[in-house]
Amino acid sequence: MKKLKNLLNTGSLQWKLLSRFFLILMLLLLIMEAYQYVTLKQYLYNSKEQVLDARFHNIQISNLQQIQTPEAVVKNASSIIDSIIDSNISAAIIDFHGNRLAGTSGEELKKHGDNSDNHENFSKIEGSPPPISVPIPQLSQNDYIKLLRQRGTLEGYRLIRDENKNLQIVAWRKIGYPKSPSGLIQISISAKPVQDILSHQLYIFIGSSILVLIIGGILGGAVFRYTLKPLYNVTSTVAQIDVRQLNMRLPLETGQLEIDKLSIAFNNMLERIETSFEKEQYIKEKMRQFISDASHELRTPLTSIHGFVEVLLRGAAKNEKQLDLALNSILMESERLTKLVNDLLLLTKLEQKVIVEMALENISDIIKEIYPQLQILSGERKVALQLHDNIFVSVNRNQIKQVIFNLLQNAVHHTDEKNGVITISTNILDNFATLNITDNGTGIPKEHLSEIFDRFFRSESHRSRKHGGYGLGLSIVKSIIDAHNGKIDVTSELGVGTTFSIYLKSIK
C-alpha cells in the first residue's frame, strides 16, 4: 500500500491524474462487476431452486401427509422418486433416524435396527428407478435429524459437494405431518451450469475490463494532455520570464477556471515582483544619489574647516582679527556638520519605528508655545496664526514642534525677506485635526512635488547655499507624521506660494 501511494505521488501531473483515473476506473469496474456477479449468482441459484420447488409440487401435499410410518415411507419411496426426478435431478428418501432408505443411484440401503418395535430391516426397495450417474449429496445422520426437527417446510436450498467434490444444489421436504415427520425427501441438481455461467461472466468481465482500461488509457491520456495544455503554456511562459521581461503576463480566459485563477495569481505575483524590482532599483538609485549628495554636503564644510586651519597654521593665529574670523567660520561649519549628522541620525531612528511617548495635546497650545521662536526664525517676514481652540490629538509634543520648525524654516527659505507672509492655521475636518502652513513664496514645480520629501532633494532653482539647507528637513517631517499615523499633503503654484497640510486623528 505504501509503495502504491508513493507511486501515485511521484511523476508528472499528467501521470498522477492518469494513474488516479485508472485506479478509480478499476475500482468502479470492480464494484460494478461484484454487484453484477452477486446479483447474477443469486438469480441463477434462485432459478434452480424454483426448478426443485416445481419438482416438489409434482407430489400432492395431502399424499405426503398420509405417509406417517416408516413402513409407509419405504413402500412409497419408489413412487415419490419417480414423480420428481428427471435426467438432471437426483433424489433420495431419508427416514426419521437420518438414514437414507432409497435414492436414484440404485444402491441397496438397509435400515439399521433401533429400539422401535415397529421397524423392520429392508434389503432393497422394489420398483426403485434405474440408477443415474449423478452421485447423491449426503449429509451426516445428525444433520438429517436436525432438518427433521427444524420447524417449517424446509423451504430454501443448500450448496453441498458430493463424493466427487462436485457442487450441487440441494432441497428437502418433510414426509408426514410437518410437526412430526416420518422422513425427508431430498432432491438435488448440479450447480455446474450455474458455475459455468458465472465463470464465463467472470472471463467476460476480465476481458471487457482490460479493453475498457486500454481504451480509457488512450482516451484519458489524450484528454488529459488537451486539458493540461493551458498549464503547459503557463509553465512555458513562466520559464521565459527573467529580470528583463518582468512585464510579461500570462494569458487569461483559457476556458478553464482553475488555470485562469492560476494565471491571475501568477500575474499578480509578477506585478508585485516587477513593482518590488522597480522599487529596489529606485532605492538603489536614491541610495547612490544619497551617497553622492551626502558626500557633496560633507565636503564643503570639511573643506572650509581644513582651509581655515591651514590659514591659522600659516600665521593667521597671530592676527586677532583673522583668528576670530577663522574660529567663527570653523564653529559655523562644525555646527552645520553637527546638524547634518543629527538629522541623519534622527531619520534613521524614525525609520526604525522606535516607540516614542505620546500624550494628549492641544495642537493650538503647542503652536502658541513656540510662536516667539517662530517669529525670530522668520526675521522680518510676517507669521500669522489662525487657530481653533480645543483641538486635541495624541502626539509627541517635541516631535510636533520640530515638524512646525522645519516647515516654517522651509517657508522662510522660499519667501521674500521683507514681503513674505507665513500663515499657520488649525481646523477640524472629518474627525481629523488639520495643521496648515502656507507661504506666499516662489512655489514648487509640479514635477517636483512627489520628490520634495526625499533626502537631500532640492529643486534646481533652490540650490543656493545662502540658507545652508541640506534637504533633510522635509524628510524628517514626513517620517515624524508617518510615525504618528498621520498624513501630509502639499499643494503649490509657482509664483503664488505653497501650502503644507498635516492630518492627525483628533480626539474629542
Under a CB-based contact definition with an 8 Å cutoff, are residues 445 and 465 in contact?
Answer: no
Fold of 58-110+121-190: Beta-Lactamase (3.30.450)
Mean pLDDT of the chain: 79
- Average pLDDT (115-138) is 48
Per-residue pLDDT, 122: 35
Say how many C-beta atoms besides its own lie within 10 A of residue 467's C-beta. 11
Per DSSP, 123 falls in state: S
Which residues make up the CATH 3.30.565.10 domain(s) of the chain?
357-505
DSSP string over 230-281:
HHHHHHHHHHH--GGGTT-------S-HHHHHHHHHHHHHHHHHHHHHHHHH
| Pairwise pLDDT comparison (247 vs 479), residue with the higher score | 479
| CATH number for the domain whose boundaries are 241-354 | 1.10.287.130
- What's the rounded Cα separation, in Å, for the pair 231 and 262? 9
Q: Is the pLDDT of residue 468 over 50?
A: no
- Average pLDDT (285-303) is 69
Three-state secondary-structure class, residue 175? strand
Q: Is the pLDDT of residue 434 over 90?
A: yes
Per-residue pLDDT, 440: 93
Phi, psi of 120, deg, nearest 5: -125, 165
Which residues make up the CATH 1.10.287.130 domain(s) of the chain?
241-354
Q: What is the bridge-based pairing of β-strands 487-493 and 382-386?
A: unpaired
Q: Is the pLDDT of residue 110 over 70?
A: no
Which residues make up the CATH 3.30.450.20 domain(s) of the chain?
58-110+121-190
**Residue found under cell 438414514:** 99
Looking at domain 357-505, its CATH class is alpha beta
Phi, psi of 395, deg, nearest 5: -145, 170
| Pairwise pLDDT comparison (433 vs 81), residue with the higher score | 433
- Average pLDDT (209-216) is 87
Query: Could you report the per-residue pLDDT of 350-385, keeping only the tens digit for each?
Result: 666 666 788 999 999 999 999 988 898 888 999 999
Q: Helices 397-413 and 363-378, interaxial angle, to 10°?
A: 40
Amino acid symbol at 25:
L
What b/e sequence results for 86-121 when a residue is b if at least 16 CB atoms lie within 10 Å of its CB, and e otherwise? Answer: eeebbbbbbbbbbbbbbbbbeeebebeeeeeeebee
Query: Could you report the per-residue pLDDT of 18-52, keeping only the tens digit for each?
Result: 788 888 888 898 899 899 889 999 999 999 888 88
- Average pLDDT (334-351) is 73
- Average pLDDT (200-211) is 89
Beta-ladder partners of 382? 421
